[in-house]
Structure 1
Amino acid sequence: MLDIVAVSDEERVYISNKIKNCDILLGCGDLSPGYLDFLMNILKPKISLMIYGNHDKKYFKNLYNVELTGFSKTYKGLEIIHQDIINLKNKLNINKNVYISGFSGAYSYGKKPFHFSEKDAKIFKRILGRKKAFKLIKDIDIIITHSPPGLENLFEKDISAFHKGSSIMANIYMKYFPKIWFYGHIHPRYTDQILNFRIHYKNKISYLLNSVPYKYVRYDEEKKEVVEIIGEEKKIKFKDIYF
Protein backbone atom coordinates (compact mmCIF):
# COMPACT_ATOMS: atom_id res chain seq x y z
CA MET A 1 0.00 0.00 0.00
CA LEU A 2 1.38 3.41 -1.00
CA ASP A 3 0.65 6.56 0.98
CA ILE A 4 0.66 9.56 -1.37
CA VAL A 5 0.46 13.24 -0.48
CA ALA A 6 -0.11 15.75 -3.30
CA VAL A 7 0.12 19.49 -2.58
CA SER A 8 -0.40 22.64 -4.61
CA ASP A 9 -0.84 26.43 -4.51
CA GLU A 10 -1.61 27.07 -0.82
CA GLU A 11 0.87 26.46 1.98
CA ARG A 12 -0.59 24.90 5.12
CA VAL A 13 1.77 24.09 8.00
CA TYR A 14 -1.03 22.31 9.87
CA ILE A 15 -0.65 19.36 7.50
CA SER A 16 1.84 18.07 10.07
CA ASN A 17 -1.05 17.68 12.53
CA LYS A 18 -3.09 15.63 10.06
CA ILE A 19 -0.50 13.48 8.26
CA LYS A 20 2.59 12.05 9.91
CA ASN A 21 4.38 10.39 7.01
CA CYS A 22 4.02 9.22 3.41
CA ASP A 23 5.77 7.18 0.76
CA ILE A 24 5.42 9.72 -2.05
CA LEU A 25 5.25 13.52 -1.91
CA LEU A 26 3.99 15.22 -5.08
CA GLY A 27 4.30 18.96 -5.69
CA CYS A 28 1.76 20.14 -8.25
CA GLY A 29 2.99 23.71 -8.57
CA ASP A 30 2.94 27.21 -7.05
CA LEU A 31 4.67 26.29 -3.81
CA SER A 32 7.91 27.68 -2.43
CA PRO A 33 11.10 25.62 -2.09
CA GLY A 34 10.99 26.33 1.66
CA TYR A 35 7.50 24.91 2.07
CA LEU A 36 8.28 21.74 0.14
CA ASP A 37 11.46 21.34 2.20
CA PHE A 38 9.30 21.68 5.35
CA LEU A 39 6.95 18.94 4.10
CA MET A 40 9.83 16.61 3.28
CA ASN A 41 11.18 17.07 6.80
CA ILE A 42 7.89 16.31 8.55
CA LEU A 43 6.44 13.67 6.20
CA LYS A 44 9.75 11.98 5.43
CA PRO A 45 8.66 10.63 2.02
CA LYS A 46 10.70 7.93 0.35
CA ILE A 47 10.51 9.87 -2.90
CA SER A 48 9.55 13.49 -3.68
CA LEU A 49 8.53 14.58 -7.19
CA MET A 50 7.24 17.84 -8.62
CA ILE A 51 6.23 19.94 -11.60
CA TYR A 52 6.05 23.74 -11.88
CA GLY A 53 3.07 26.03 -11.57
CA ASN A 54 2.55 29.38 -13.24
CA HIS A 55 3.92 31.36 -10.25
CA ASP A 56 7.13 29.40 -9.74
CA LYS A 57 9.17 31.58 -12.08
CA LYS A 58 9.92 33.94 -9.16
CA TYR A 59 12.12 31.32 -7.51
CA PHE A 60 14.63 31.40 -10.36
CA LYS A 61 17.05 34.29 -10.85
CA ASN A 62 18.16 32.82 -14.16
CA LEU A 63 15.55 31.00 -16.24
CA TYR A 64 18.32 29.07 -17.98
CA ASN A 65 18.72 27.23 -14.67
CA VAL A 66 15.19 25.83 -14.68
CA GLU A 67 15.53 22.05 -14.62
CA LEU A 68 12.92 20.07 -16.54
CA THR A 69 14.02 16.62 -15.33
CA GLY A 70 16.28 15.26 -12.64
CA PHE A 71 16.93 16.62 -9.18
CA SER A 72 16.40 20.33 -8.71
CA LYS A 73 19.05 22.68 -7.38
CA THR A 74 16.35 25.16 -6.35
CA TYR A 75 13.86 22.70 -4.83
CA LYS A 76 16.47 20.62 -3.06
CA GLY A 77 15.55 16.97 -2.59
CA LEU A 78 12.82 17.05 -5.23
CA GLU A 79 12.96 15.42 -8.64
CA ILE A 80 11.37 17.27 -11.57
CA ILE A 81 9.20 15.10 -13.82
CA HIS A 82 8.12 17.58 -16.50
CA GLN A 83 7.27 15.50 -19.61
CA ASP A 84 9.01 12.57 -17.96
CA ILE A 85 7.82 9.13 -16.83
CA ILE A 86 9.25 7.34 -13.82
CA ASN A 87 8.74 3.77 -12.67
CA LEU A 88 8.61 3.79 -8.86
CA LYS A 89 9.09 0.02 -8.53
CA ASN A 90 12.79 0.06 -7.77
CA LYS A 91 12.78 3.43 -6.02
CA LEU A 92 10.18 2.20 -3.51
CA ASN A 93 11.23 -1.48 -3.48
CA ILE A 94 7.77 -2.74 -4.42
CA ASN A 95 6.70 -5.73 -6.52
CA LYS A 96 4.57 -3.99 -9.14
CA ASN A 97 5.41 -1.38 -11.75
CA VAL A 98 3.98 2.01 -10.76
CA TYR A 99 4.40 4.62 -13.48
CA ILE A 100 4.05 8.33 -12.77
CA SER A 101 4.29 11.23 -15.21
CA GLY A 102 3.98 15.00 -14.99
CA PHE A 103 3.56 18.18 -16.98
CA SER A 104 4.30 21.70 -15.77
CA GLY A 105 2.57 25.04 -16.04
CA ALA A 106 -0.78 26.69 -16.44
CA TYR A 107 -2.66 26.52 -19.72
CA SER A 108 -2.14 30.18 -20.59
CA TYR A 109 0.20 32.63 -22.30
CA GLY A 110 3.65 33.06 -20.82
CA LYS A 111 7.14 31.69 -20.35
CA LYS A 112 7.63 27.94 -20.55
CA PRO A 113 7.57 25.72 -18.51
CA PHE A 114 5.46 27.90 -16.22
CA HIS A 115 2.82 28.32 -18.95
CA PHE A 116 1.95 26.08 -21.89
CA SER A 117 -0.11 26.04 -25.07
CA GLU A 118 -1.90 23.27 -26.93
CA LYS A 119 1.20 22.99 -29.11
CA ASP A 120 3.29 22.23 -26.01
CA ALA A 121 0.73 19.66 -24.83
CA LYS A 122 0.99 17.93 -28.22
CA ILE A 123 4.73 17.44 -27.63
CA PHE A 124 3.96 15.76 -24.33
CA LYS A 125 1.37 13.57 -26.04
CA ARG A 126 3.96 12.49 -28.64
CA ILE A 127 6.52 11.68 -25.93
CA LEU A 128 4.03 9.42 -24.16
CA GLY A 129 3.01 7.86 -27.46
CA ARG A 130 6.59 6.97 -28.38
CA LYS A 131 7.23 5.38 -25.01
CA LYS A 132 4.06 3.32 -25.32
CA ALA A 133 4.91 2.33 -28.93
CA PHE A 134 8.34 1.09 -27.83
CA LYS A 135 6.68 -0.72 -24.89
CA LEU A 136 8.60 1.33 -22.34
CA ILE A 137 5.28 1.86 -20.59
CA LYS A 138 2.00 -0.02 -20.63
CA ASP A 139 -0.18 1.98 -18.26
CA ILE A 140 0.30 5.15 -16.25
CA ASP A 141 -0.83 4.98 -12.64
CA ILE A 142 -0.49 8.66 -11.72
CA ILE A 143 -0.22 11.94 -13.63
CA ILE A 144 0.43 15.30 -11.99
CA THR A 145 -0.21 18.66 -13.65
CA HIS A 146 -0.82 22.21 -12.52
CA SER A 147 -3.81 22.92 -14.76
CA PRO A 148 -6.70 20.46 -14.94
CA PRO A 149 -7.20 18.54 -18.18
CA GLY A 150 -9.94 20.07 -20.33
CA LEU A 151 -12.42 17.20 -20.05
CA GLU A 152 -16.01 17.94 -21.08
CA ASN A 153 -18.66 18.67 -18.44
CA LEU A 154 -16.24 19.02 -15.52
CA PHE A 155 -17.47 22.40 -14.38
CA GLU A 156 -21.14 23.27 -13.98
CA LYS A 157 -20.68 27.05 -13.93
CA ASP A 158 -18.77 29.46 -16.12
CA ILE A 159 -15.04 29.34 -15.60
CA SER A 160 -12.29 31.09 -17.53
CA ALA A 161 -11.05 29.38 -20.68
CA PHE A 162 -7.56 28.95 -19.25
CA HIS A 163 -8.86 27.38 -16.04
CA LYS A 164 -10.96 24.90 -18.01
CA GLY A 165 -7.79 23.26 -19.23
CA SER A 166 -6.25 21.96 -22.43
CA SER A 167 -8.19 19.73 -24.81
CA ILE A 168 -4.95 17.92 -25.71
CA MET A 169 -4.42 17.12 -22.05
CA ALA A 170 -7.97 15.78 -22.02
CA ASN A 171 -7.00 13.50 -24.92
CA ILE A 172 -4.04 12.28 -22.88
CA TYR A 173 -6.32 11.62 -19.93
CA MET A 174 -8.72 9.46 -21.92
CA LYS A 175 -5.98 7.61 -23.80
CA TYR A 176 -3.97 6.60 -20.73
CA PHE A 177 -6.75 6.84 -18.13
CA PRO A 178 -4.51 6.94 -15.07
CA LYS A 179 -5.84 5.70 -11.75
CA ILE A 180 -5.17 9.14 -10.28
CA TRP A 181 -4.63 12.56 -11.87
CA PHE A 182 -3.66 15.32 -9.44
CA TYR A 183 -3.99 18.97 -10.46
CA GLY A 184 -3.87 22.40 -8.81
CA HIS A 185 -4.34 25.98 -10.05
CA ILE A 186 -8.04 26.25 -9.09
CA HIS A 187 -8.41 27.27 -5.44
CA PRO A 188 -11.44 25.69 -3.73
CA ARG A 189 -11.90 28.70 -1.44
CA TYR A 190 -12.56 30.90 -4.48
CA THR A 191 -15.40 28.81 -5.88
CA ASP A 192 -18.35 26.72 -4.75
CA GLN A 193 -17.93 24.27 -7.61
CA ILE A 194 -17.05 20.63 -7.08
CA LEU A 195 -13.39 20.20 -8.01
CA ASN A 196 -12.88 16.47 -7.38
CA PHE A 197 -14.13 13.97 -9.92
CA ARG A 198 -14.69 10.26 -10.48
CA ILE A 199 -14.26 9.65 -14.19
CA HIS A 200 -16.05 6.54 -15.51
CA TYR A 201 -14.96 5.01 -18.83
CA LYS A 202 -15.28 1.45 -20.17
CA ASN A 203 -16.11 0.06 -16.72
CA LYS A 204 -13.03 1.68 -15.23
CA ILE A 205 -12.75 4.52 -12.72
CA SER A 206 -10.13 7.25 -12.55
CA TYR A 207 -9.90 9.95 -9.89
CA LEU A 208 -9.23 13.54 -10.95
CA LEU A 209 -8.28 15.27 -7.70
CA ASN A 210 -7.72 18.90 -6.85
CA SER A 211 -4.55 19.05 -4.72
CA VAL A 212 -5.11 22.56 -3.30
CA PRO A 213 -3.94 22.65 -0.54
CA TYR A 214 -3.45 18.88 -0.28
CA LYS A 215 -4.83 15.43 -0.94
CA TYR A 216 -3.79 12.25 0.85
CA VAL A 217 -4.39 9.03 -1.08
CA ARG A 218 -3.82 5.42 -0.12
CA TYR A 219 -3.13 3.46 -3.28
CA ASP A 220 -3.01 -0.32 -3.51
CA GLU A 221 -0.33 -0.81 -6.12
CA GLU A 222 -0.92 -4.57 -6.23
CA LYS A 223 -4.61 -4.29 -7.14
CA LYS A 224 -4.20 -0.89 -8.86
CA GLU A 225 -6.99 0.57 -6.73
CA VAL A 226 -7.52 3.79 -4.79
CA VAL A 227 -8.38 2.74 -1.24
CA GLU A 228 -8.80 6.07 0.57
CA ILE A 229 -8.83 9.80 -0.23
CA ILE A 230 -8.52 12.50 2.45
CA GLY A 231 -8.39 16.25 1.96
CA GLU A 232 -8.86 19.49 3.84
CA GLU A 233 -12.62 19.08 3.53
CA LYS A 234 -14.45 17.17 6.27
CA LYS A 235 -16.01 15.07 3.54
CA ILE A 236 -14.81 15.20 -0.05
CA LYS A 237 -17.56 15.77 -2.59
CA PHE A 238 -17.14 14.06 -5.95
CA LYS A 239 -18.80 14.76 -9.26
CA ASP A 240 -19.22 11.62 -11.36
CA ILE A 241 -18.43 12.04 -15.07
CA TYR A 242 -19.36 9.31 -17.53
CA PHE A 243 -17.86 8.79 -20.99
Structure 2
Amino acid sequence: MTRMRLLALADQEVDGLYSPNLLQHAPNVDCVLSAGDLPFGYLDYILTILNRPLYYVHGNHTQKRALHGSDELSEEIEGATNLHMRTVNYRGLLLAGLEGCRRYRNAEHQYSEAQMGRRAMHLALRLQRNRMRYGRALDILVTHAPPAGIHDGDDHAHRGFQAYLALMRWFRPRYLVHGHTHIHRHDQPRRTRYQDTTVLNAYGYQLITLDLPEPNPAAR
Protein backbone atom coordinates (compact mmCIF):
# COMPACT_ATOMS: atom_id res chain seq x y z
CA MET A 1 0.00 0.00 0.00
CA THR A 2 1.07 3.57 -0.71
CA ARG A 3 0.00 6.27 1.75
CA MET A 4 -0.72 9.76 0.43
CA ARG A 5 -1.52 12.98 2.27
CA LEU A 6 -3.53 15.66 0.49
CA LEU A 7 -4.41 19.27 1.25
CA ALA A 8 -7.93 20.16 0.07
CA LEU A 9 -8.98 23.83 -0.22
CA ALA A 10 -12.11 25.77 -1.16
CA ASP A 11 -13.78 29.18 -1.01
CA GLN A 12 -12.13 30.76 2.02
CA GLU A 13 -8.54 31.91 2.56
CA VAL A 14 -7.08 30.62 5.83
CA ASP A 15 -4.62 32.93 7.57
CA GLY A 16 -2.58 30.02 8.91
CA LEU A 17 -1.98 28.72 5.39
CA TYR A 18 -1.26 32.12 3.86
CA SER A 19 1.68 32.62 6.23
CA PRO A 20 5.14 31.29 7.14
CA ASN A 21 3.28 28.66 9.22
CA LEU A 22 1.93 26.85 6.15
CA LEU A 23 4.23 23.85 6.57
CA GLN A 24 3.13 23.48 10.19
CA HIS A 25 -0.55 23.41 9.22
CA ALA A 26 -0.03 21.12 6.22
CA PRO A 27 3.06 18.96 6.80
CA ASN A 28 4.17 16.18 4.46
CA VAL A 29 1.59 16.94 1.79
CA ASP A 30 1.87 15.02 -1.50
CA CYS A 31 -0.47 17.21 -3.54
CA VAL A 32 -3.05 19.99 -3.26
CA LEU A 33 -6.69 19.93 -4.40
CA SER A 34 -8.64 23.16 -4.91
CA ALA A 35 -12.44 22.96 -5.19
CA GLY A 36 -12.71 26.53 -6.44
CA ASP A 37 -13.32 30.20 -5.66
CA LEU A 38 -9.88 30.99 -4.26
CA PRO A 39 -7.66 33.94 -5.32
CA PHE A 40 -4.68 33.45 -7.61
CA GLY A 41 -2.23 34.89 -5.08
CA TYR A 42 -3.33 32.51 -2.35
CA LEU A 43 -2.96 29.44 -4.56
CA ASP A 44 0.34 30.72 -5.98
CA TYR A 45 1.72 31.04 -2.45
CA ILE A 46 0.64 27.53 -1.43
CA LEU A 47 1.94 26.06 -4.69
CA THR A 48 5.31 27.78 -4.26
CA ILE A 49 5.89 26.99 -0.59
CA LEU A 50 4.71 23.38 -0.66
CA ASN A 51 6.30 22.72 -4.06
CA ARG A 52 3.71 20.04 -4.77
CA PRO A 53 1.30 19.55 -7.69
CA LEU A 54 -1.97 21.49 -7.55
CA TYR A 55 -5.13 20.08 -9.15
CA TYR A 56 -8.21 22.27 -9.31
CA VAL A 57 -11.66 23.03 -10.67
CA HIS A 58 -13.19 26.46 -11.12
CA GLY A 59 -15.95 27.71 -8.87
CA ASN A 60 -18.68 30.11 -9.94
CA HIS A 61 -16.73 33.30 -9.17
CA THR A 62 -14.24 33.77 -11.98
CA GLN A 63 -11.06 35.81 -12.08
CA LYS A 64 -8.55 36.40 -14.84
CA ARG A 65 -4.99 37.64 -15.08
CA ALA A 66 -2.28 37.97 -17.70
CA LEU A 67 -0.30 34.85 -18.42
CA HIS A 68 3.43 35.02 -17.70
CA GLY A 69 5.19 36.78 -20.56
CA SER A 70 1.92 37.58 -22.36
CA ASP A 71 -0.86 40.16 -22.45
CA GLU A 72 -3.44 37.39 -22.86
CA LEU A 73 -5.87 37.11 -19.95
CA SER A 74 -6.58 33.67 -18.55
CA GLU A 75 -8.50 32.20 -15.63
CA GLU A 76 -6.18 29.19 -15.44
CA ILE A 77 -3.64 28.74 -12.64
CA GLU A 78 -0.12 28.62 -14.04
CA GLY A 79 1.81 25.54 -12.98
CA ALA A 80 -1.36 23.68 -11.96
CA THR A 81 -3.74 21.21 -13.65
CA ASN A 82 -7.41 21.92 -14.35
CA LEU A 83 -9.37 18.71 -13.64
CA HIS A 84 -12.65 19.72 -15.28
CA MET A 85 -13.94 16.75 -17.31
CA ARG A 86 -10.50 15.15 -17.10
CA THR A 87 -8.92 12.20 -15.36
CA VAL A 88 -5.38 12.29 -13.96
CA ASN A 89 -3.20 9.57 -12.49
CA TYR A 90 -0.80 11.17 -10.01
CA ARG A 91 1.56 8.54 -8.60
CA GLY A 92 -1.26 6.01 -8.54
CA LEU A 93 -3.88 8.46 -7.21
CA LEU A 94 -6.80 8.61 -9.67
CA LEU A 95 -8.36 12.09 -9.83
CA ALA A 96 -11.18 13.66 -11.85
CA GLY A 97 -13.16 16.88 -11.64
CA LEU A 98 -16.24 18.88 -12.57
CA GLU A 99 -16.36 22.65 -12.20
CA GLY A 100 -19.02 25.20 -11.37
CA CYS A 101 -22.46 25.28 -9.79
CA ARG A 102 -26.14 25.42 -10.68
CA ARG A 103 -27.04 28.14 -13.16
CA TYR A 104 -28.58 31.10 -11.36
CA ARG A 105 -27.61 33.83 -13.83
CA ASN A 106 -25.96 34.08 -17.23
CA ALA A 107 -22.31 33.59 -16.31
CA GLU A 108 -19.40 31.22 -16.83
CA HIS A 109 -19.09 27.94 -14.93
CA GLN A 110 -22.82 27.70 -14.19
CA TYR A 111 -24.89 24.75 -15.42
CA SER A 112 -28.40 23.36 -15.44
CA GLU A 113 -28.88 19.82 -14.16
CA ALA A 114 -29.14 18.61 -17.77
CA GLN A 115 -25.93 20.39 -18.76
CA MET A 116 -24.03 18.92 -15.82
CA GLY A 117 -25.52 15.51 -16.56
CA ARG A 118 -24.02 15.61 -20.06
CA ARG A 119 -20.63 16.57 -18.66
CA ALA A 120 -20.84 13.79 -16.11
CA MET A 121 -21.59 11.27 -18.87
CA HIS A 122 -18.58 12.50 -20.84
CA LEU A 123 -16.43 12.06 -17.75
CA ALA A 124 -17.96 8.62 -17.13
CA LEU A 125 -16.51 7.34 -20.41
CA ARG A 126 -13.02 8.27 -19.21
CA LEU A 127 -13.65 6.74 -15.81
CA GLN A 128 -14.74 3.50 -17.43
CA ARG A 129 -11.41 3.40 -19.26
CA ASN A 130 -9.68 3.91 -15.91
CA ARG A 131 -11.57 0.93 -14.51
CA MET A 132 -10.44 -1.26 -17.38
CA ARG A 133 -6.84 -0.06 -17.11
CA TYR A 134 -6.30 0.16 -13.34
CA GLY A 135 -8.95 -2.14 -11.90
CA ARG A 136 -10.77 0.84 -10.34
CA ALA A 137 -12.20 4.00 -11.82
CA LEU A 138 -11.50 6.81 -9.40
CA ASP A 139 -10.12 7.70 -5.98
CA ILE A 140 -11.16 11.36 -5.63
CA LEU A 141 -13.74 13.37 -7.55
CA VAL A 142 -13.17 17.13 -7.12
CA THR A 143 -16.20 19.37 -7.70
CA HIS A 144 -17.17 22.90 -6.75
CA ALA A 145 -20.85 22.32 -6.04
CA PRO A 146 -21.91 19.52 -3.68
CA PRO A 147 -24.07 16.54 -4.64
CA ALA A 148 -27.84 16.95 -4.44
CA GLY A 149 -29.07 16.55 -0.88
CA ILE A 150 -25.60 16.38 0.69
CA HIS A 151 -24.16 19.60 2.16
CA ASP A 152 -26.18 21.68 -0.31
CA GLY A 153 -28.35 24.72 0.39
CA ASP A 154 -32.03 25.54 0.10
CA ASP A 155 -31.54 28.38 -2.39
CA HIS A 156 -31.26 27.55 -6.08
CA ALA A 157 -27.65 28.74 -6.44
CA HIS A 158 -26.46 26.36 -3.73
CA ARG A 159 -28.46 23.27 -4.62
CA GLY A 160 -26.30 20.27 -5.50
CA PHE A 161 -26.26 18.15 -8.65
CA GLN A 162 -28.03 14.80 -9.03
CA ALA A 163 -25.35 13.85 -11.57
CA TYR A 164 -22.76 13.60 -8.80
CA LEU A 165 -24.86 11.02 -6.96
CA ALA A 166 -24.89 8.89 -10.11
CA LEU A 167 -21.11 9.14 -10.50
CA MET A 168 -20.62 8.04 -6.90
CA ARG A 169 -22.95 5.07 -7.37
CA TRP A 170 -21.33 4.01 -10.62
CA PHE A 171 -17.65 4.54 -9.87
CA ARG A 172 -17.40 4.47 -6.04
CA PRO A 173 -14.62 7.02 -5.45
CA ARG A 174 -13.09 7.11 -1.99
CA TYR A 175 -13.85 10.83 -1.72
CA LEU A 176 -15.90 13.53 -3.37
CA VAL A 177 -14.28 16.84 -2.39
CA HIS A 178 -16.39 19.96 -2.93
CA GLY A 179 -16.72 23.60 -1.93
CA HIS A 180 -19.41 26.24 -2.65
CA THR A 181 -21.32 25.70 0.63
CA HIS A 182 -19.79 27.93 3.29
CA ILE A 183 -19.56 26.60 6.83
CA HIS A 184 -20.75 29.10 9.44
CA ARG A 185 -21.73 26.80 12.33
CA HIS A 186 -19.80 24.20 14.30
CA ASP A 187 -22.65 21.70 13.91
CA GLN A 188 -22.72 22.04 10.12
CA PRO A 189 -21.54 18.70 8.65
CA ARG A 190 -18.29 18.53 6.69
CA ARG A 191 -18.14 14.77 6.09
CA THR A 192 -21.05 12.62 4.99
CA ARG A 193 -20.97 9.02 3.83
CA TYR A 194 -22.80 8.18 0.60
CA GLN A 195 -22.52 4.49 -0.23
CA ASP A 196 -18.74 3.89 -0.58
CA THR A 197 -17.81 7.58 -0.83
CA THR A 198 -16.94 10.16 1.82
CA VAL A 199 -18.36 13.52 0.70
CA LEU A 200 -16.06 16.20 2.12
CA ASN A 201 -16.71 19.95 2.21
CA ALA A 202 -13.24 21.49 1.86
CA TYR A 203 -14.36 25.02 2.86
CA GLY A 204 -11.24 26.64 4.29
CA TYR A 205 -9.07 23.56 4.25
CA GLN A 206 -9.06 19.87 5.12
CA LEU A 207 -6.30 17.26 5.21
CA ILE A 208 -6.92 13.83 3.69
CA THR A 209 -4.82 10.72 4.26
CA LEU A 210 -5.53 7.64 2.19
CA ASP A 211 -3.85 4.36 1.35
CA LEU A 212 -3.65 3.36 -2.29
CA PRO A 213 -3.15 -0.13 -3.70
CA GLU A 214 0.18 -0.87 -5.30
CA PRO A 215 0.14 -0.29 -9.08
CA ASN A 216 -0.73 -3.30 -11.19
CA PRO A 217 2.36 -4.11 -13.34
CA ALA A 218 0.04 -5.45 -16.04
CA ALA A 219 -1.82 -2.13 -16.35
CA ARG A 220 -0.84 -0.23 -19.46
- Do they superpose with TM above 0.5? yes
Verify: 1:145 aligned to 2:143, yes or no. yes
Change (3 A) 1:175 1:162: farther
Counterpart of 1:119 in structure 2 is 114
What secondary structure does 2:184 align onto?
helix
For normalisation by structure 1, the TM-score amounts to 0.72
Equivalent runs, 1:36-185 vs 2, <5 Å? 36-45=43-52, 47-55=53-61, 57-59=62-64, 72=76, 75-89=77-91, 97-110=92-105, 113-134=108-129, 135=132, 138-151=136-149, 154=150, 159-185=154-180
TM-score between both structures, scaled by the size of structure 2: 0.79
* CA-CA distance at 1:129 after TM superposition: 3.1
Q: CA RMSD in A?
A: 2.7
| Residues 178, 202 of structure 2: 8 Å contact kept | yes
Report the residue type matching 2:164 in the other structure: M
Q: For the structure 1 residues 111 and 66, does the alpha-carbon distance in structure 2 shift closer, same or farther, using more than 3 Å as the test?
A: farther
Cα offset, 1:190, TM superposition: 6.0
Larger RCO (CA under 8 A, 6+ residues apart): 2
* 3-state SS in 1 of match to 2:38: coil
Instruction: Mark the CA change 1:35 to 1:106 in structure 2 (over 3 Å): closer, same or farther.
Output: same
Q: Determine the structure 1 residue equivalent to 2:197.
A: 206
Query: In structure 2, what is the equivalent of residue 196 of structure 1?
Result: 191
Structure 2 residue runs of 5 or longer lacking an equivalent are 67-71, 215-220
**How big is the shift at 1:169?**
2.0
Matches of 1:169 and 1:180 in 2, distance apart? Answer: 12
User: In 1, Cα distance between the equivalents of 2:116 and 2:133?
Assistant: 20
Deviation at 1:136, TM superposition (A): 5.4
Contiguous gaps of at least 5 residues in structure 1: 90-96, 224-243
Separation of aligned partners in 2, 1:38 and 1:171: 35
Is the 1:6–1:182 contact (alpha carbons within 8 Å) kept by the matching residues of 2?
Answer: yes
1:25 equivalent in structure 2: 32
Comparing 166-175 with 12-21, greater Cα deviation is found at 12-21
8 A Cα contact 1:28 1:184, kept in partner: yes
Q: Percentage identity across aligned positions?
A: 24
On the 8 A contact 1:145/1:182 being kept in 2, the answer is yes
Using a 3 Å threshold, how does the CA distance of structure 1 residues 2 and 113 change in structure 2: closer, same or farther? farther
Q: Note the C-alpha offset of 1:163.
A: 1.9
C-alpha change, 1:116 and 1:65, in structure 2 (3 Å) is: farther
Distance 2:111 2:8 in 1: 21
Per-residue deviation, 1:192: 4.4
> Which ranges of 4 or more aligned residues in structure 1 deviate by more than 6 Å?
none
Q: Does residue 1:219 correspond to 2:210, yes or no?
A: yes
Output the CA distance in 2 between the equivalents of 1:198 and 1:221. Answer: 19
